[in-house]
Amino acid sequence: MLAFGLHAGFEGARRMMDRLNLITRAVSLGDADSLIYHPASLTRARKSIHKDAHLADGVGEDLMRLSVSLEDDGDLIADLRQALDLQVGS
């Protein structure tokens, strides 16, 4: 399990997740597949949680959580690279 932030912020994180092919978008990180989670997307979808509450807890709009599983590490790296290429060019 790892967590990282993107300089491109909230919208950059959403664009990166849309470009992933192998890694699955998830709201829970317990599975046999590699999964990625963008907490701020869920927070914005749920009107009951104000984004400032998460920021106070150290969960910024750029935070990504990735749970790596059984797939080939080269395939996972390639998927992340192609998804992040959009961030570099943005």
pLDDT digit string, tens, across residues 33-79: 898 988 888 665 555 555 555 555 666 788 888 989 889 999 999 99
Burial of 47 (C-beta count, 10 Å sphere; 0-12/13-18/19+): exposed
**Domain limits, the chain:** 2-89
> Which architecture characterizes domain 2-89 according to CATH?
Alpha-Beta Complex (3.90)
Tell me which DSSP letter residue 65 carries.
E
Tell me the two tokens of residue 72.
Answer: 């080939």
Query: Which residue is listed with tokens 């797939």?
Result: 71
Calculate the CA 43 to chain-centre distance.
Answer: 13
Residue 22 has pLDDT above 90, yes or no: yes
What pLDDT, on the 0 to 100 scale, is given for residue 73?
93
- Identify residue 16 by its one-letter amino acid code: M
